[in-house]
Amino acid sequence: MLAVGFLAAALASVPALAQGRPVPGAMLPQAQAGDVDAMMVVASDYLRDPYGDHAEGYRWMMRAAACDGPGCIASPDMLHSARLSAASSLFYGVQHATRYVVLPDMMQVYVWMTIAQSAWSTRGEKPDYSLNFYKREAAARMTPAQIAEAGRRAAAWRPMSLEAVLRTPFDPPGQR
Q: Is 76 helix (H, G, I), strand (E, B) or coil?
A: helix
Specify the pTM.
0.80
**Residue 159 contacts by C-beta under 8 Å, 6 or more apart in sequence?**
68, 69
Q: Is 73 helix (H, G, I), strand (E, B) or coil?
A: strand
What confidence score (pLDDT) does residue 156 get? 96
CB count in 10 Å sphere of residue 160: 20
CB 43 within 8 A of CB 61: yes
Closest by CA to 173, choosing from 105, 85, 107, 111, is: 105
What confidence score (pLDDT) does residue 2 get? 39
CB 154 within 8 A of CB 111: yes
pLDDT in tens, the chain (176 residues): 434 333 333 334 344 443 555 566 678 999 999 999 999 999 988 888 878 788 899 999 999 999 999 999 998 888 888 998 898 889 998 887 777 888 899 999 999 999 988 877 666 666 677 888 999 999 999 999 999 999 999 999 998 999 999 999 998 887 54
Query: CA-CA distance, 8 to 4, in Å (whole number)?
Result: 6
What confidence score (pLDDT) does residue 117 get? 85
What confidence score (pLDDT) does residue 121 get? 63
CB count in 10 Å sphere of residue 152: 11
- Please state, in angstroms and as integers, the Cα–Cα distance from residue 144 to each residue in 28, 102, 107, 140, 147, following that order: 40, 24, 11, 10, 5
Q: Is 102 helix (H, G, I), strand (E, B) or coil?
A: strand
What confidence score (pLDDT) does residue 73 get? 94
